[in-house]
Amino acid sequence: MPAPLSLAAAFDPALAARAGGLVADEAKAKGNDLVYAPTVNIMRTPLGGRTFEGYGEDPYLTARTAVGWIKGAQATGVIANVKHYAANNQETGRMSINAEIDERTLREIYLPQFEAAVKDAGSGSVMCAYNKVNTQFSCENEHLLKDILTREWGFKGFVLSDYPTTPGSPSPTTRPSRGRSQRAASRCSRTPVPCCRSGPAGSRRSR
């Protein structure tokens, strides 16, 4: 499969749907019921380590490509996991940086593709990001998770943390012990929307 950035260069949502369906079929054949995709973060810098994994620098193109991809994937019965919500757009400090973004910029640049994924494509899950947005970590950000995702967009699915990024979890640079993972999962259950800790026993996911 070509890099997602190349897929976006086709400007073809129908082709994106075919790509999503193919990836989901392969995931299902491996016994997975969720795939960690698509990545819809905006390309702010070519130095971003995962820039190739997204759909470029234009919110509209990214949104339309993501909608096609998600519809194609979920038509197979596999859950799409749109990521990384939100503003996870650079490599330096990617796991801890505080993205200071005014509301207009947030709405015009960083959120339209997530909104389309939820409202137009019906994505079954959303992955919250490592970074902070306006001083609150994304996975415990009340404005992002409660005000926008749940109340405004009417999201009915579940939020999946990007590895140990749930409130109160250990540093993302360390692997938590079993006991600490369980405590993190407990805290996760008290987040504003349904949240699933990454990698619980019995889960079947594909990156």
How many residues are there in the chain? 207
E-strand ranges in 97-169 read 98-99, 125-128, 132-133, 136-137, 158-161
CB atoms within 10 A of CB 47: 9
**3-state class (DSSP) for residue 79:** strand
Clarify whether 58 is annotated catalytic. Answer: no
Nearest residue to 91 (alpha-carbon basis) of 55, 56, 51 = 51
Q: What is the DSSP letter of 111?
A: S
Pairing status of strand 158-161 against strand 195-196: parallel
Q: Which amino acid appears at position 139 of this protein?
A: C
Active-site entry in 12, 58, 120, 162: 162
| Rounded to 5°, angle at Cα 203 from 154 and 126 | 25
Q: For residue 83, what are the β-bridge partners?
A: 39
Please list the active-site residues. Answer: 162
